[in-house]
Homo-oligomer: A and B are copies of this chain.
Amino acid sequence: MIGSVRRLAAVIGLLAVSAVADAQPLPSWNDGPAKQAIVDFVAKVTTEDSPDFLAPQDRIAVFDNDGTLWPENPLPFQLMFALDELRRLAPDHPQWKQNPVIQAALDGDVAVLKKDLKKSLSEILKETHAGTTVDEFDQRVRDWLSTARHPRFDRPYNGLTYLPMQEVLAYLREHGFRTYIVSGGGKDFMRVWAEDTYGIPPEQVIGSMGPLQFEIRDGVPVLARQAGIDFIDDKEGKPVAIHRSIGRRPVAAFGNSDGDLAMLQWTTMTRSPSFGLIVHHTDPEREYAYDRDPASSGKLVTALEQSEQQGWVVVDMKRDWKTVFETTAASDG
């Protein structure tokens, strides 16, 4: 009786949602093969008498973040945050003048940082945030997000998510999917705003991680950030992180670079039904255009080459997206 009340309640909820959502799915997508592929996939795995029907617990979709849900230019936004933090804290750290990476960052010498973006980010985060507690770090991200603006688009960074991808996130959730972020970016950085910005709760945000130490400071238990990197959630690390965090294989994966190749393979190869999608940046007017030789992160060669054989959908941003960004800028929470 308890079970049946619950099931009935769930059915009422799902019916109401589906009826509204399916009238006009994905309105910011132009009609075409990419949009159709998304709609077809969702239909076949959620139709009860379909051979491809998936039980709700198996409806798991994973999304890369930088370049897939929001831009990664002129630099990945977490690196923009770290650079702003560096400038904010520099007056108290005269010793930074002896550190070539930090000094390059302060001088705006982006070429030096780009030689190894991940190493630069790690070095800058170490200098700015090692020793802070996770709560303090969280507050710093919040403070930054409420004041910083993107240099080209002049909006808060979390006002620059891709509207078509926001629609995909919502569309999947309306059809019983759980949506996860699986990003090379820092897990703790993304969790601060992912729930407000994407509707993705902290336990569904997977990312790179630095070491943490449990301490009791003046009677208060804290987790203190330590220097270094424990886990890089990129390339072959993505399937590992997915397995560890979720414990089930996803059936849908969305990415934009070779950093997502292993995640796309893990999600789709020798699996049916499954779905893979690559966002190809082809729109320098409204956003950016890059693949083989990106100005920032996001190199895309092998995944694009494999896309046809693997049946992955390649989104041509310029052609497939009616709108790129939401018209009103988001503010932080």
* A245-303 at interface with B (beta carbon < 8 Å): 245-248, 262, 265-266, 269-270
The answer to whether A203 touches B269, judged by C-beta atoms less than 8 angstroms apart, is no
Rounded to whole angstroms, the CA-CA distance of A101 and B12 in the bound complex is: 58
In the bound complex, residues from chain B placing their C-beta under 8 Å from that of A10 are 9, 13
Task: Give A11 Cβ to nearest chain B Cβ, in Å.
Answer: 9
Count, chain A residues at interface, CB 8 A: 43
Which residue from chain B places its CB closest to the CB of A243 in the assembled complex?
B223
A6: interface (CB < 8 Å): yes
Chain B: minimal CB distance from A171 (Å): 13
Partner of A1, one of B2, B16, B265: B16
* Contact B17 A12, beta carbon cutoff 8 Å: no
Per the 8 Å Cβ criterion, residues 93-126 of A in contact with B are: none
Residues of B contacting A220 in the complex (Cβ-Cβ under 8 angstroms): 269-270
Q: Which residues of B contact A12 (CB under 8 A)?
A: 5, 8-9
Report if A202-B246 is in contact (Cβ < 8 Å); known contacts: A214-B266, A270-B219: yes
Cβ-defined contact, A221 with B57, below 8 A: no
Would you call A212 an interface residue if the criterion is a C-beta within 8 Å of the partner chain's C-beta atoms?
A: yes
Does residue A191 face the partner (Cβ distance < 8 Å to B)? Answer: yes
Question: B269 contacts A205, CB within 8 Å?
Answer: no
Cβ of A330 under 8 Å from chain B: no
**Shortest distance from the beta carbon of A115 to any chain B beta carbon, whole Å:** 26
Let me know if A244 is at the binding interface, CB within 8 A.
Answer: yes
User: Roughly how many angstroms separate A213 CA and B13 CA in the complex, as a whole number?
Assistant: 40
**In the assembled complex, A76 has its CB within 8 A of some CB on chain B:** no
From residue A17, how far is it (CB to closest CB) to chain B in Å?
5
A245:B203 contact, CB within 8 angstroms: yes
Q: How far is the CB of A150 from chain B (nearest CB, A)?
A: 26
Residues of B within 8 A of A17 (CB): 2, 5-6
Say yes or no: A13-B20 contact (C-beta < 8 A), given A201-B57, A239-B223, A247-B202. Answer: no
Q: How near does chain B come to A240, taking the closest CB pair, in angstroms?
A: 5
Report the bound CA distance from A196 to B239 in whole Å. Answer: 25
Q: Shortest 3 CB-CB distances between A and B: which pairs?
A: A202-B247, A9-B9, A214-B236
Given contacts A2-B17, A203-B247, 9 further A-B contacts (CB under 8 A): A1-B20, A5-B17, A201-B247, A203-B246, A205-B247, A214-B266, A216-B265, A219-B269, A220-B270
Interface, chain A (partner B; CB < 8 A): 1-2, 5-6, 8-10, 12-13, 16-17, 20, 57, 134, 187, 191, 201-203, 205, 209, 212-214, 216, 219-221, 223, 236, 239-240, 243-248, 262, 265-266, 269-270
